[in-house]
């Protein structure tokens, strides 16, 4: 038996209502237990103890990340670390190599990370990269937003077939949930156009983003999927897009779910909270977005915080990347993934002297500060779109200290005072709220029952930070907060100490979660369509399509309980 006890830590475990308590944590064989007999003792004497971090949206693997690496060799020469006796070499800042993604997350105390955009055709590639990312438990969301099958079934009203298709696809790609990027708009981009509102039609299919979102939300519920539909809104990254974001949020209003989670998640909301008509009149509408979130308990958002510096943007929303490339003139890569999705990659430099960038920076913080319930807002940077993952500690210190924000505001373009509301916000996050937005809220939203908390039976993923929460004032000692969060004192993954004093001391490989939502005769329902379309339109044979468990490290299947098939008859 492998036993460990963490003594005298100051524990914050929001999902179990433990807040600022001096408490011992007992671990046996990778799980949290109530007592141990002959443990190894780790006395952390008053240090901050959190559950292991969960990042619900971070582009860490797949074809898109790899094209970022390919077009940015100059990024790969940054943050170089040679191989050691236990670790592989590290490279890259915004488009890191797979190893350093694992190490850097682990050093910051994260133990679970979600790759949020897996094109079905490159699912193998995504899983091959995920397999090589050490230290973390991984999930990936499959892209459905402008898939031809989806739009076809939506236009014909065949919701049972749509459910069958989603279940089949999640199984074939070993995906965890439904990701929707620019619903419908991505297909129009293949014709050089986009959608402007939720009621614009998709070329040839005649469906609207509203119908796609509504039907996929229903299917998500029919299939009993653990995660809400994960939506990258239409018109993302364009001035004046907050209206369509609020409209999208309203779709979820009143939609009750049997799992007791929200039906809709709006991702990297910073990029969707823009006011103004063009880049000259661009301003922050984070207040409008926050008002909707505060009054609508049926949605969650994540921040997608932007930090100054250079980074690489990558998304399945090809239109967005094209426009960004036109603004910057930098190199650009665009892709069209057959019937399924698309994508683009381009580097950007976010500058503290450029008014637009400064307002974007402010919007993310405003959204985090204005949304009252921390369970509704996760901390993300949409790595690497807003900023690389290594910038989290800085953002945490900004959220915890108004003084630090004031100091930063003095250094950036004055537009932040005129066209954003950040300077007027006084809220400072507390330790418990930080634990929620970096851990509990995300574990909750992904319904990962063993993650994000330290109750009996949870996975023994624990982070201990080198800071004494009762002895410092985070609003004054923000530098100490940043330093503590950038290098955990200990990260414990599955009961083993993997990081000590900010150094990797043991390399482990995590689990890969996926959702199996099969129901009776689901394949027969769509078999003819699949065979027909694969024969006529795909470059891949149906039998060669998808991923099997060989590609996954420690596959971990989540079986759901679909209310379709023989279990419940459709009305």
In this complex, which beta carbon is closest to another protein, that of residue 75 or of residue 160?
75
Q: Under a CB-based contact definition with an 8 Å cutoff, are residues 375 and 440 in contact?
A: yes
In this complex, which beta carbon is closest to another protein, that of residue 88 or of residue 203?
88
- Counting residues that bind another protein (by CB under 8 A) gives 10
* Burial class of 424 by CB neighbour count within 10 A (0 to 12, 13 to 18, 19+): exposed
In this complex, which beta carbon is closest to another protein, that of residue 304 or of residue 388?
388
Q: Shortest Cβ distance from residue 73 to another protein (Å)? A: 4
Binding mask 331-350 for another protein (x = CB under 8 A): x---------------x---
Q: Shortest Cβ distance from residue 87 to another protein (Å)? A: 16
In this complex, which beta carbon is closest to another protein, that of residue 58 or of residue 67?
67
Q: Shortest Cβ distance from residue 329 to another protein (Å)? A: 7
- As given in the structure block, the two tokens for residue 373 are 């319930």
Q: Among 148, 255, 322, 330, which residue interacts with another protein (rule: CB under 8 A)?
A: 330
Applying CB under 8 A, the span of 27-35, 70-78, 282-290, 316-324 interacting with another protein comes to 70-78
Q: Is 65 near another protein (CB under 8 A)?
A: no
Q: Is 73 near another protein (CB under 8 A)?
A: yes
Applying CB under 8 A, the span of 165-173, 264-272, 323-331, 400-408 interacting with another protein comes to 323-331
Question: Roughly what angle, to the nearest 10 degrees, separates helices 148-156 and 209-222?
Answer: 90
Distance, in Å, from the CA atom of 558 to the CA atom of 566, rounded to the nearest integer, reads 20
Q: Under a CB-based contact definition with an 8 Å cutoff, are residues 397 and 481 in contact?
A: yes
Q: Among 64, 72, 404, 493, which residue interacts with another protein (rule: CB under 8 A)?
A: 72
Q: Shortest Cβ distance from residue 85 to another protein (Å)? A: 13
In this complex, which beta carbon is closest to another protein, that of residue 73 or of residue 206?
73
Q: Among 4, 71, 139, 207, which residue interacts with another protein (rule: CB under 8 A)?
A: 71
In this complex, which beta carbon is closest to another protein, that of residue 348 or of residue 362?
348
298-336 in b/e burial notation, b at 16+ Cβ within 10 A? bbbbbbbbbbbebbbbbbbbbbbbbbbbeeeebebbbbe
Backbone φ/ψ region at 495: left (φ over 0), alpha (ψ -120 to 50), beta: left
* Burial class of 571 by CB neighbour count within 10 A (0 to 12, 13 to 18, 19+): exposed
> Which residues between 444 and 503 bind another protein (CB under 8 A)?
none
> Which residues between 363 and 382 bind another protein (CB under 8 A)?
none
**Is the bond into 384 cis (omega within 30 degrees of 0)?**
yes
Q: Shortest Cβ distance from residue 65 to another protein (Å)? A: 16
Q: Shortest Cβ distance from residue 328 to another protein (Å)? A: 10
Count of beta carbons in the 10 Å neighbourhood of residue 146: 30
- As given in the structure block, the two tokens for residue 87 are 């670790």
Q: Is 254 near another protein (CB under 8 A)?
A: no
Give the alpha-carbon dihedral of 534, 538, 540, 543, to 10 degrees.
-10
- As given in the structure block, the two tokens for residue 133 are 């990312």
Nearest to 360 by CA among 332, 382, 334: 382
Q: Is 81 near another protein (CB under 8 A)?
A: no
In this complex, which beta carbon is closest to another protein, that of residue 72 or of residue 138?
72
Please say whether the dihedral angle defined by the alpha carbons of residues 540, 542, 544 and 549, taken in this order, is positive or negative: positive
Applying CB under 8 A, the span of 69-77, 248-256, 502-510, 522-530 interacting with another protein comes to 69-77
Q: Is 136 near another protein (CB under 8 A)?
A: no
Q: Among 34, 277, 329, 426, which residue interacts with another protein (rule: CB under 8 A)?
A: 329
CA 190 to chain centre: 26
Nearest to 175 by CA among 232, 238, 229, 104: 229
Q: Shortest Cβ distance from residue 313 to another protein (Å)? A: 15
Please report, as ranges, the residues that interact with another protein according to CB under 8 A: 71-75, 77, 329-331, 347
């Amino acid at each position: 038996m492998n036993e460990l006890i963490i003594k005298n830590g100051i524990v914050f475990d929001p999902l179990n209502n433990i807040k600022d308590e001096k408490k011992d944590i007992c671990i046996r064989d990778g799980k949290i237990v109530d007592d141990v007999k002959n443990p190894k003792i780790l006395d952390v004497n008053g240090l901050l103890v959190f559950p292991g971090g969960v990042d619900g949206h971070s582009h860490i693997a797949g074809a898109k990340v790899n094209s970022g690496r390919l077009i940015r060799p100059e990024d790969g020469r940054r943050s170089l670390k040679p191989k050691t006796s236990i670790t592989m070499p590290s490279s890259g800042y915004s488009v890191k190599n797979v190893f350093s993604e694992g190490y850097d997350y682990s050093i910051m105390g994260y133990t679970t990370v979600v790759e949020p955009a897996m094109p079905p055709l490159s699912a193998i590639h995504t899983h091959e990269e995920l397999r090589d990312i050490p230290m973390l438990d991984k999930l990936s969301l499959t892209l459905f937003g402008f898939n031809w099958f989806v739009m076809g079934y939506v236009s014909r009203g065949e919701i049972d077939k749509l459910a069958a298709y989603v279940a089949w696809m999640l199984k074939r790609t070993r995906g965890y949930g439904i990701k929707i990027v620019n619903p419908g708009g991505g297909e129009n981009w293949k014709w050089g156009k986009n959608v402007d509102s939720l009621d614009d039609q998709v070329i040839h299919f005649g469906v609207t983003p509203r119908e796609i979102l509504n039907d996929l939300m229903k299917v998500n519920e029919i299939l009993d999927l653990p995660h809400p539909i994960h939506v990258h809104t239409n018109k993302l990254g364009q001035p004046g897009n907050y209206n369509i974001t609020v409209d999208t949020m309203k779709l979820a209003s009143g939609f009750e779910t049997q799992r007791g989670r929200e039906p809709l998640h709006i991702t990297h909301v910073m990029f969707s909270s823009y006011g103004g008509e063009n880049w000259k009149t661009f301003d922050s509408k984070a207040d409008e977005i926050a008002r909707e979130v505060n009054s609508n308990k049926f949605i969650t958002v994540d921040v997608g915080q932007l930090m100054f510096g250079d980074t690489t943007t990558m998304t399945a929303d090809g239109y967005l990347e094209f426009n960004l490339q036109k603004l910057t003139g930098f190199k650009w890569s665009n892709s069209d993934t057959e019937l399924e999705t698309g994508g683009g990659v381009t580097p950007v430099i976010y500058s503290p002297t450029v008014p637009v960038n400064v307002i974007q920076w402010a919007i993310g913080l405003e959204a985090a500060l204005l949304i009252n319930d921390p369970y509704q807002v996760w901390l993300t940077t949409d790595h690497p779109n807003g900023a690389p993952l290594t910038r989290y500690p800085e953002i945490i210190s900004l959220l915890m200290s108004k003084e630090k924000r004031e100091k930063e505001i003095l250094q950036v373009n004055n537009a932040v005072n005129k066209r954003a509301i950040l300077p007027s916000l006084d809220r400072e996050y507390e330790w418990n709220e930080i634990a929620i937005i970096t851990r509990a809220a995300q574990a909750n939203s992904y319904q990962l029952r063993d993650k994000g908390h330290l109750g009996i039976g949870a996975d023994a993923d624990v982070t201990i930070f080198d800071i004494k929460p009762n002895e410092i004032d985070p609003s004054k000692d923000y530098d100490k907060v940043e330093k503590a969060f950038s290098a955990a004192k200990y990260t414990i993954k599955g009961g083993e100490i993997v990081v000590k004093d900010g150094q990797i001391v043991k390399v482990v490989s995590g689990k890969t979660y996926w959702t199996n939502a099969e129901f009776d005769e689901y394949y027969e329902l769509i078999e003819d369509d699949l065979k027909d379309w694969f024969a006529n339109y795909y470059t891949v044979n149906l039998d060669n399509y998808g991923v099997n468990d060989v590609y996954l490290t420690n596959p971990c299947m989540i079986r759901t309980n679909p209310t379709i098939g023989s279990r419940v008859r459709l009305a």
